[in-house]
Chains A and B, each alone.
Chain A
Amino acid sequence: ACGGSGGGTTASEAPSSAGASSEAPKSALKVGLAFDVGGRGDKSFNDAAYVGLEKAKTDLGAEIKDLSPSSDGSNRGELLRQLADAGYNPVIGVGFLYDNDIKTVAAEYPEIQFAVVDSLSSGPNVTGLQFAEEQGSYLAGVVAANKAKNGHVGFVGGVEMDLIKKFEAGFVAGVKSVKKDAKIDVAYISADPAIGFKAPDKGKVAADKMFQDGAEIVYHAAGDSGTGVFQAAAAAGKKAIGVDSDQRETIKDAKLQPVIMTSMLKRVDVGVFEFVKAFQGGAKGGNNVVYDLKVDGVGLATTGGEIDDLKDKLDAAKKDIVDGKITVPSKP
C-alpha cells in the first residue's frame, strides 16, 4: 500500500511536470512530506504527521507522497529537493532536524511552499509549525498532581535535548501549580537519539526506580522507550501518562492500556493538515504557526475516562493559559 494511491500517477507524471509545477493549479494539489529518521510506521511522531497528510488526501483531494530519510539522516536535503523536483508543492519536513535543510532548499525553490514541523520559519516561503508541548505537558502535570495522593510524580525523558526539556518544564510547572511541595523525579535515558528513544528496558529501569521510591504517576516523553515506563507502571500497579498520540489507543497491549491514564497529544496531524489547507487557500509562508492549547494543537486524551473527574480543573488551567494568565515555561 506504500504510496499505492499516488504512485501510479507519479511515476509517469512527475518528470514531465517537474519544471512547470510551481504554478500548478489547485485542483492538482500535490503534497510531499519528508519524515524524520525512523520514517513512516514509527507509531509516533512521523505517523501523526502522516495522518495529517492522509487527511489532506481524503478531505482536500491532494495527491500525496511521503519519503523517509536514510537511517543516518544524511539525505534530508536531497529528499526535499527530490520532492520539489518531482512537482510537489507544498513540501513538509517533519522534525526540527530539518530546519537547516529547509532553509537552504526553500531558498533554491522560491516558488514552492515549505513547512517544517517543530521549528521556525527560515524564509518567505517557509512556515514553521510549532507546538506548545509545554502547555500540554502542563495539563499532564495538573492531572498527575491531582491524581497522585502522596504528591510524588516522575518524568522520564528519552534524550536530553531541548525539545524534550520543553515537556519536562511544562510538566513540572503543571504539577507545581497544583502542589507546590510535590516531589518530581526527573530522569533522562541517553544523550544519543539512537539510544534514548529506543531503549524500553532502560525506560523501565528509570521508571521502576521512581515507582519504587513512591511515585504514583510517571509521565514520559521517550518515544519507544516509553513502553518500558508503561511496563514499570503495570508491574508496580501505578499509572503513567503517554505522549504525542493517544497511547491508550495506539499501544495495543491489553495489559498496558489500563495504566495509561491519559496522553499528552501533540497534534502534528492537525498541524500538517491545517498547513496544507491554508496553502490551498493561498496562504504564503514566512511565519510561524504555533499549535498550542488555544487551537487544540496540544491537549490531553480522554480515552478510558480516567481524567473525566478533572475536567473542570483542566478546563480552568487551559483557560488560564489561553488567556495568558499563566505563562508556561519551556525550559526547566
Chain B
Amino acid sequence: MPAGLYRALLTFAGAVAAIVLAIAISSVAIIAAGASPGDAFAAFFNFGATDRTLATGLAAMINRAVPLFIAGLAVAVGFRMNLFNIGVEGQYRLAAICAAYVGTVFVGPSWLQITVIILVAMVVGGLYALIPALMKTGRGVSEVISTIMLNFIAINIASFLVRGPFAGQRAEGQLANTTQTLPQSAWFPNLNWIFGAFGLPAPRGGGLWGFLLVAVVLGVVLWVVLERTRFGFDIKASGLNATAAVASGVNAKKMVISAMVLSGAIAGLIGLPEILGDKHAFNSGFTPGLGYLGIAVALLGRNKPVGIAIAALLFGFLDRAQGPLQIAGLPSSVIVIMQGTIVLLVVIANEITGRIAVRREERYAARQLGRNTPVEVGA
C-alpha cells in the first residue's frame, strides 16, 4: 500500500475510533444524568416528521456548518505554520459590523454590493489581524496573548459601533441594538433549489444560505493555495521547521504577516453568511464565539480544508440536535461534552496513528535497505 494512502486510512480509522469512544463517554454521562443514551441518539437523528422539517433541519445543520467551516479555515491558515491566531473571534466581529454598515451606505447592483461587502469584511479582518502580526514581527509579542487581548478590545469596539456611529433606525421600544437593515440588493440569494433537486420542499427561514457557495469556493481556493502553490509550501515548511524554512530563503516575518493577514481576511467572512443570508443586519443577536469554535473545528479537521469541512458538518449536526434533545427531555449540554471529547480524542488519535505510520515507514525503509540485518560472525 502506498505510504500516503496508508496514512490517510490510518487517520480515518483513528478519527472513527475517537468518535466512537466519545460517543461511549457521552453515553456514560447521559446515563449518569438519568436518561437513556438510545433516546439521545434517536434525538440526534430526529429531523421531524415531514419533508419540510427534514429540509429545515438539514438547512439548519449546514447553515451552522458554513460559518464554522470558514472559521476553521481562518484558524488553520495560521496553525499550519504554528501561528496561533486565537484572534479570529475579534477579527470576525469587527469585520462583520463594518461590512454590515458599509452594506447600508454603499448601495449598488446586487453583485457589486455583495462583492463590496465581502471585500470590506476581508479587509477589516485582515487589518485587525495585522496588529498582532506586526507586534510579533516587530517586537516579538506572542500572538497567543496579543490576539486574546485584541478579542476583548474588538468586542467592545463592535459594541460601541453598533450602539453609536453605525446604529440604524429603530422603532420606539425596540431594544436590540442594530445597524440599518441591508437593502434587498445585499441579500445573498439562497440555495433552496438544491432541496428541490432532491425532491424536498424548500426549508423554512432563510433557507440554505447561498454563502455556502462562497465557502466552498473559498475552501477549494485555499486548498490549492496551501497544497499546490509556493506560498502554501512556504507556510508548510515554516510550520514543519521554521529555521530550515528561513535558511531556505523563506522570509519569516513576511510569512507571519501574510499568513496572519490571510487568516484575518478569511476570518472577516465568518459573520457574513448570517448577515447576508438571514439577519440582514448586525445586531445584538449576532452569533458570538465562532472564532473559538473555529479553533476546535480546525483541530478536528487537521488543518486541511476537507477535514475542516467534515468537522464543521459534524459540529453542525451535533448543534442542530439542541432542540430535539430538549424536546425529548434530555440534557442538551451533552452536545458540548461530545464536541470537547471528540476534539480531544481525535487529536490524541492523530498522534497515535501518526506515530504508527512513521514506525511503519521506518520499518519499511529499513527492510527495503536491509540495514543492520544481523551479520553472522563466526565466533
A interface with B by C-beta (< 8 Å): 2-4, 7, 10-11, 14-16, 18-19, 65-79, 81-83, 85-86, 96-101, 104-105, 108, 118-120, 128, 130, 160-163, 166, 191-192, 194, 288
Q: In the assembled complex, how far is the CB of residue B272 from the closest CB belonging to chain A, in whole angstroms?
A: 15
For A4, the closest partner residue in chain B by CB is: B329
Interchain CB contact under 8 A, B173 and A75: no
User: B-side interface residues toward A, CB under 8 Å?
Assistant: 48-50, 52-53, 56, 60, 64, 155-156, 159-160, 163, 171, 173-177, 204-206, 278-279, 281, 283-285, 287-290, 319-320, 322-324, 326-329, 331-332, 335-336
A104 to chain B, nearest CB (A): 6
> Pick the contact of A100 from B50, B283, B289, B331 — CB < 8 Å?
B283
Partner of A2, one of B174, B285, B329: B329
Asked, given contacts A18-B50, A191-B159, A191-B160, whether A161 binds B327 with beta carbons under 8 Å apart, the answer is no
Could you jot down 18 A-B contacts, CB within 8 Å?
A10-B327, A14-B327, A70-B319, A74-B319, A78-B323, A82-B327, A86-B48, A86-B327, A96-B174, A96-B175, A96-B176, A99-B174, A100-B176, A100-B279, A104-B206, A105-B204, A105-B205, A119-B173
The residues of B that contact A4 with a CB separation of less than 8 Å are: 329
Q: Kindly list chain B residues whose C-beta atoms are within 8 Å of the C-beta of A15.
A: 48-49
- Contact status of A11 and B176, CB under 8 A, knowing A75-B322, A85-B53, A192-B156: no
In the complex, the number of residue pairs spanning A and B with C-beta atoms less than 8 Å apart equals: 134
Closest Cβ of chain A to B369, distance in Å, is: 54
**Chain B residue with the shortest CB-CB distance to A19:** B50
**Whole-angstrom distance between the Cβ of B244 and the nearest chain A Cβ:** 41
With A and B bound together, what is the CA distance between A130 and B171 in angstroms? 13
Alpha-carbon distance between A19 and B349 when the two chains are bound, in angstroms: 45
Q: Please name all residues of chain B whose beta carbon is closer than 8 Å to the beta carbon of A192 when the two chains form the complex.
A: 155-156, 159
Cross-chain contact A120 with B48 (CB below 8 angstroms): no
CB < 8 Å neighbour of B48 from A73, A85, A118: A85
Contacts of A16 in B (CB 8 A): 49
Instruction: Tell me if A79 and B173 are in contact (CB < 8 A).
Output: no
Contacts of B289 in A (CB 8 A): 71-72
**Could you say which residues of chain A place their CB within 8 Å of the CB of B53?**
18, 85
* CB <8 Å contact, A191 and B155: yes
Q: Within the complex, what minimum Cβ distance (angstroms) separates A159 from chain B?
A: 9
**B156 → chain A, closest Cβ, in Å?**
5
A320 vs B279: C-alpha distance when bound (angstroms): 41
Known A16-B49, A100-B283, A105-B205: A161·B177 in contact at CB below 8 Å:
yes
Task: Give the residues in chain A near B176, CB-CB below 8 Å.
Answer: 96-97, 99-100, 119
Please measure, in the bound complex, the distance between the C-alpha atom of A161 and the C-alpha atom of B48, giving whole angstroms.
38
Q: Is the CB of A67 within 8 A of B323?
A: yes
Q: A3-B329, A96-B176, A108-B205 are in contact. Are A81 and B56 (CB under 8 A)?
A: yes
Q: Are B205 and A77 in contact (CB under 8 A)?
A: yes
- The answer on a CB contact under 8 Å between B49 and A18 is yes
Closest to B280 in A: A100
B194 shortest CB reach to chain A, Å = 19
Using CB atoms, name the residue of chain A closest to B281. Answer: A100
Closest to B60 in A: A78
**Choice from A74, A79, A108 contacting B204 with Cβ under 8 Å:** A108
Name the residue among B175, B320, B329 with the largest chain A CB count within 10 angstroms.
B175
Q: Which residues of A contact B50 (CB under 8 A)?
A: 18-19, 85
Q: Does the CB pair A72–B175 fall under 8 Å?
A: no
CB proximity of A266 to chain B, nearest CB, Å: 13
Contacts of A100 on B, CB cut-off 8 Å?
A: 176, 279, 281, 283, 285
**A67 CA to B324 CA, complexed, in Å:** 9
In angstroms, how far is the closest chain A Cβ from the Cβ of B31? Answer: 16
Given the interface contacts A68-B326, A81-B205, A192-B155, does A97 sit within 8 Å of B49 by beta carbon? no
